[in-house]
Structures are given as C-alpha cells and as structure tokens.
Amino acid sequence: MKIYYKLVTSAFIIILFSSCGAVKPQVPAHAAKKKADKKIIADVNNSQKQKRVSQIRATSQEKNTVSNRPKKREGNNPSKDQRNISKTLALKDGVENQVASKSNTNSKKKNSYSNYIRVKTVYELAAEANPPMFFPHDEFETASEYQARVSDQVSLMKEIVQMTSQKMEIKNAQRKQVAAEKELKTKTVIESLMAESSSPIEFTPTDIGRYNAEKETFPVILHNTQYQISVPREEARTFKSNFESVKIKGIKQLKPKYDVLIKVSKAHIRSRPNGSIVGIASADDLFEHVQDEDEWYKINYKGQFGFTHKNNANLKLVDIANEYEFYDLVAIHPNTGSLYAMTSVDKLVKAPLNLASRKYESGQPDGPKDY
C-alpha cells in the first residue's frame, strides 16, 4: 500500500513539473514591445555611464602623474615681469608675423617691385664718403679734436651740397640744350619742306572794284582774300579797261603752322584786341596760333578764340598746314607791262589805337602786375 502511494505521489509530481516547464506564460504583444524598448534604453544608459567612468579615471590618472612630478626650484621659476615680457614678445612676434604675411600677400597680389623711393640725406651721403669722420666721440679723443672733426663734417656736407647743385645745373643745361637742338632740327626740316613746296604762280583776277583816286588803289578778290593794287592815276583807266588781260604773278608755298609761346611770367588773354580779360596764361604755356591781327595774336584758348599781345609771346614753328599762302604778288599792266604791288587788306587794317593799346608801344607786356 505504501509502495502504491509512493508511486502515485511521484507520478503526480512528475506530471506537475513537466506541465509547468513545457508551457510558457503567454505575454501580450504591446507588453513585449514595451519591455524591449526599456531594455534598449537601459543598454544606452549603461554605455554612457561606462564612458563617463573611463573619462574620470583618465583625468584622475593625469592629475596623479602631474602631482608625482618633482617640483622645480623657486630660483628657476620666471618672475612676473619676465612672464609679462615673454608674453609681450610673443604677441609682438605674432603681430609682426601677421603684418609680414599680409605684406607678402599684398606684394604678391600687386607685384614684386616697390614704388617707394628714399632720397638719402646730405648727412648720409657725407658719412658714406668718409665714414671715420662721422664716428662718435672716442674716449681717447680730446674735446678740441672732436670739435675739429665736427667742423670737417660740416665742411664736407657743404661741399656735397655744392657739388649736387652744380650737377643739377649741368643736367638742366644739357636738357635745355637737347630741347633747343631738337627744336632747331624740327624747324630746319619744316623750312626745308616749305622751300621745296615753293613754286611760281600766274593767274588772272576774277573781279575788280571801284578805283580810289585818293589812295590810287584798286580792290580785287583773289582766293577769297581781298587785295589792293597800287596803280598810278595816269595808268588806272587803261588798267581797268583791259582788266581781263591783266596777269598776276607771285609765289605760292605751303603755309606754316605756329604755336604761341608765352614768354612773360603772366599774360592776359582777352576776348578781342583791347577787350575784356577772359584768362591768365603763365610762362612757357603753348596755344594754337590762328592768325595775326595787328599787334595781337589770335589763339585757340580753351576751345574758343582769344587774343594776347605780341609783347607777351613769340611764335614757334611746329608744323606745315595743308594749304598754300601767296606772297610777292604783282599785277602786270597788259599794255605797258608795268608791275604794280599787291597788298593784302588784312595787313592794311589796323586795330583801333586807343588808350588801352598805347601802353604796349614801349614793349610793355599785357599782364597782371607783380607786387
């Protein structure tokens, strides 16, 4: 009976344990997902904690290492002033390096050349010429000897100044000579071309005006220019009646071009002869010459016509114009063969002589007074 009871009990226990181990408890899906998320968060927190612990351990090891190092003696420690000086020098070096790098960069951007020119002083030139003379006062040199050496320094510097001035004067004279030779050469070439262009000319006038018995002249038009022919009264009648047979001879030549060169310190530029002042020119100013009008040069002044007196300037030959001028013109009588001089009206008409123009008769320039 007892054996039967033991078998039943053991069988029941075996069945109970087998049923508990074979069947797992059923867990809902949302609970399982929540449990998995919590596990991931826990893993992340554990990894962060491990990193922090490792960092703390490394820091503590460094501190222990530094604390275990032997301390330096106080005599070797730099003072506060020395540390400040070292910091200042370091900052200065840094600034200089920055400036140098910036300057190098700028120079590379621009070019490798400098536009800065330094002119040496007289003292530097004298010191280069005789260095021992400019040494400082030596302990074995007396005061009188040093004073004499200083006097020699002054004398040497004066000599250098004088030599430099002479060199400058020589260079200026050479420059002026070269300019004068160049101007003379240009003038010679232009005059040669003008002479080559010169040739005799003969033609018949197209029209003749009324005879002026008081002046004994005929007005005629030639190449858009009015001339006057001086004909005596006894031949004037036959001259006009045979005018179609009159011959005019002369010389034609290329017309020169001039510039007006101001020769005085200050010269007035006027709107017309003896007119209002429109400007003031200085010495060596150049203006294009238009024509002569009595005692005045008509010039091109700032895009408009102006006038300056002949006492103020000279004409400078610069080129040849693309037109001819006529001179030495004479009219030949067809019956008698007499020669009559012809004069341009422009050369006969004079500007009105008034109080404003009389002051130029003595050669006085027309310009502002120098006070």
Residue-level length of the chain: 371
Q: Provide the residue-wise pLDDT of the chain in tens; the chain has 371 residues.
A: 566 666 767 666 777 655 554 444 454 555 555 555 555 555 545 666 566 556 656 555 554 444 444 444 444 454 544 454 454 444 445 544 544 454 455 444 445 555 566 778 888 888 999 999 999 998 898 999 999 999 998 999 999 999 989 999 999 999 989 988 998 999 899 989 988 999 999 988 878 889 999 999 999 888 778 889 999 999 999 999 998 899 999 999 998 999 999 999 999 999 999 899 999 999 999 999 998 888 899 999 999 999 999 999 999 999 988 888 888 899 999 999 999 999 887 654 444 444 444 455 556 787 776 54
The class that CATH gives domain 200-349 is mainly beta
Q: What is the spatial distance between Cα 283 and Cα 261, in angstroms, rounded to a whole number?
A: 8
Residue with tokens 């067809």: 334
336: closest CA among 218, 239, 217, 205?
239
Cβ pair 283, 262 in contact under 8 A: yes
Domain ranges within the chain, ordered by starting residue: 117-197, 200-349
CB contact burial 75-96 (16+ within 10 A = b; e otherwise)? eeeeeeeeeeeeeeeeeeeeee
